[in-house]
Amino acid sequence: MRLQQIQFLKKLGFGLREIADMLAREEWNWSGSLKQQLHYVINEQKKLNQTESDLRGLLHSLAVEGATNRDVIHRLIRSSGSDSAIKHDYRVRMFEERELPLLERLPNLNSDDPDSLEWIALLGQLNKYGDSDPDSPAIQRIIARMHEKYLEEFGGEEAFAEKLWDIRKSSEQSEQMGLYPIHDRLISLIENAYAIFLSRNN
């Protein structure tokens, strides 16, 4: 029976020395110990969730960049290290109150939701064809799908989209927003290819 008690308490995360005290002392404060351990486990779980999110972000950066080099990691560290309060204040300052919920629809590099994964894949494909002409069929197909996704998520919100794209084009503003740091070459390719797409479809 005592062995089962020890194994159970170890499973809950208690150390052997603490378990010995818990089982030896009749007056042990079980409620206090369990609450303290629960608090510890919750905090550790948050840390693990953040670690999982960071690892997913790095893996997804591979899909976008084709390779994760020191520059990419440096940009990700700077982006993830931005103070959440600063990000929030910047968003409130840059967008109207009614536009703030739209920001929740933006793709998240650290997420596995289908929309984010498709955006990541599209950016990765564009990066793969980065040296091609913006007018090439391969790039125009990718841009066409990006446009479809834009309409699905933000159709009718042209002012919001333009404001967001202006921020996107600035690495400094993107960092303040907490957006994934897309390099200038890819930004330029998207802008040029999209201009061609619109000229043919408007």
Indicate yes or no: pTM above 0.85.
no
- Segments forming the whole domain that contains residue 77: 54-201
Mean pLDDT, the chain, whole residue set: 84
Would residue 34 count as lying in a domain?
no
Residue range 58-70: average pLDDT?
69
Asked if residue 130 is part of any domain, the answer here is: yes
Please state, in angstroms and rounded to a whole number, the distance separating the CA atoms of residues 171 and 13. 44
DSSP 66: S
Residues 6+ apart with CB under 8 A from 13: 37, 40, 41
Residue 6 lies in a domain: no
> Which pLDDT score, from 0 to 100, does residue 69 have?
59
Using the predicted structure, report yes or no on whether residue 68 has a pLDDT greater than 60: no
Helices (H), 26-83: 30-65, 70-80
- Asked if pLDDT for residue 81 goes beyond 70, the answer is no
DSSP string computed for 78-138: HHHTS-HHHHHHHHHHHS-GGGHHHHTTS--TT---HHHHHHHHHHHHHHHTTTS-TTSHH
Domain annotation covers residue 40 = no
Distance CA 164, CA 113 (A): 21
For residues 131-149, give the mean pLDDT: 93
CA distance 153 to 196: 22
Give 83's pLDDT tier (boundaries 50, 70, 90).
low
pLDDT of residue 145: 96
Comparison of pLDDT for 16 and 196, the residue scoring more: 196
Q: CA angle at residue 84 from 80 to 85, to 5 degrees? A: 155
pLDDT in tens, 106-134: 888 888 889 989 998 999 899 888 788 99
Instruction: Tell me how many domains the chain contains.
Output: 1
If you compute the radius of gyration of the chain from its CA atoms, what whole number of angstroms results?
Answer: 24
Residue 67 pLDDT:
60
> Per the structure block, which two tokens stand in for 73?
């990691």
Region 170-176: what's the mean pLDDT? 84
